[in-house]
Amino acid sequence: MKSRLAVSDALYLKPLLFGLDRTESPFDLIVDIPAQNALKFSQRSGGIRNAFLSPIDYARHGAEYCIVPNICVASLIPAGTIQLLIKSDLSNINTIAVDIRFTSEIILAKIIIEEKYQNNKSDKKLQFIPMMPDIHAMLEKADAALIVKDTPETYEESEIFTLDLVEEWNDLTELPYVHGFWVGREEEMTEEEAKALLAAKKNGVSLQMHIAQEIAREHNLPIREMTQFLSSFSYDLGEKEEESISEFIKYAYYHTVIGDVPEIRFFDVEEYKTPES
């Protein structure tokens, strides 16, 4: 029986999924929103044994989970994927309308606002208002709106000030922002599964521009725009990316999002490396 692999439909994830939907793949891909993937994986629901999770979803169960080495989705270049739209006449942000499907991005917004933009003289605690992702409705109810997008899109209305939160994270930490990585439980991931994930990444990254063109055609988007968008992401989990995950978890702890700081644990690299590596 194939292992069930929880993924989202985020376009930046496509290079890591290359070939994993084929008959010979050890996985069945289960597509859902990030929050549901994290919940189902934590509860072992539906036979899901591996998942693409954000740093915060990993941190909440770090003692149970291990990360597949050398693979992640990260970005250092702003691509418009995580934006905070703010009413331009505000001097302080007290409320943010959010789409609760995107847990890690909500925590990122909290960290950036409280670290860089919150008025220290204000005694009001930052509040989040769950809403459907409708910009105008969100800004009617809150001071700012958190928008998570799959495709490059900018907002240039004069009454809205836009913060790109990937850029803000880089400014705060001098590190890339890590959107997520492959997670499993120790002793549960097989060698075949780990090698399949590593091989998919190797092949998908080498065909990244071809994948961008396919996405553009499927979604009726300009090929040049989609190629530029996908090229703004990187897929190696190296020292900087690991440091970024660690910093994100520490900030989440400092801002009382999680109760402790778990160790970042990886599956054994030697055991799961591909023959070509």
| CATH code of the domain in which 249 resides | 3.40.190.10
Residues 137, 183 share a domain: no
Residues 152, 218 share a domain: no
What integer pLDDT is reported at residue 130 of this predicted model? 95
Tokens matching residue 49: 């044994």
Q: Report the pLDDT averaged over residues 191-207.
A: 93
Helix (H) or strand (E) holding 154: none
Q: Report the pLDDT averaged over residues 219-246.
A: 93
pLDDT, tens only, 5-20? 999 999 999 999 999 9
pLDDT, tens only, 45-96? 888 999 999 999 999 998 899 999 999 999 988 888 999 999 877 778 899 9
Question: How many folded domains does the chain comprise?
Answer: 2
Residues 146, 69 share a domain: no
What integer pLDDT is reported at residue 23 of this predicted model? 87
In angstroms, the CA 203 to CA 277 distance is 13
Q: What is the DSSP letter of 25?
A: S
Share of the chain above pLDDT 90, in %: 65
Residues 97, 139 share a domain: yes
Beta bridge partners of 50: 5, 184
Q: Which of 173, 202, 218 is the last residue of a domain?
A: 173
Residues 267, 184 share a domain: yes
Q: Report the pLDDT averaged over residues 142-149.
A: 93
pLDDT, tens only, 76-85? 888 889 999 9
Tokens matching residue 40: 């189902």
Q: Report the pLDDT averaged over residues 230-236.
A: 94
Q: Which of 149, 173, 197 is the last residue of a domain?
A: 173
- Asked, for residue 245, whether it belongs to a domain, the answer is yes
Residues 199, 168 share a domain: no
Burial of 226 (0-12, 13-18, 19+ CB in 10 A): buried
Q: Which of 173, 192, 207 is the last residue of a domain?
A: 173
What integer pLDDT is reported at residue 181 of this predicted model? 98
- Asked, for residue 9, whether it belongs to a domain, the answer is yes
Give φ, ψ of 31 to 5 degrees.
Answer: -100, 125
Q: What is the DSSP letter of 150?
A: S
272: pLDDT strictly greater than 60: no
Tokens matching residue 231: 């090229």
Q: Report the pLDDT averaged over residues 184-208.
A: 91
Residues 181, 70 share a domain: yes
Residues 267, 147 share a domain: no
What integer pLDDT is reported at residue 210 of this predicted model? 93
Is the separation of the CB atoms in 71 and 181 below 8 Å? yes
Q: Which residues are CB-neighbours of 117 under 8 A, at least 6 positions away?
A: 93
Q: pTM of whole model > 0.95?
A: no
- Asked, for residue 277, whether it belongs to a domain, the answer is no
Residues 263, 186 share a domain: yes
What integer pLDDT is reported at residue 154 of this predicted model? 62
In angstroms, the CA 43 to CA 55 distance is 18
Whole-number average pLDDT of the chain: 89
Domain of 239 in residue numbering reads as 3-76+177-226+234-272
Beta bridge partners of 87: 160
Is the separation of the CB atoms in 41 and 184 below 8 Å? no
Alpha-carbon dihedral of residues 245, 104, 216, 156, nearest 10 degrees?
-110
What integer pLDDT is reported at residue 90 of this predicted model? 76
Residues 105, 93 share a domain: yes
Share of the chain above pLDDT 70, in %: 92
Residues 147, 193 share a domain: no
Give φ, ψ of 129 to 5 degrees.
Answer: -115, 110
118: pLDDT strictly greater than 80: no
Residues 158, 183 share a domain: no
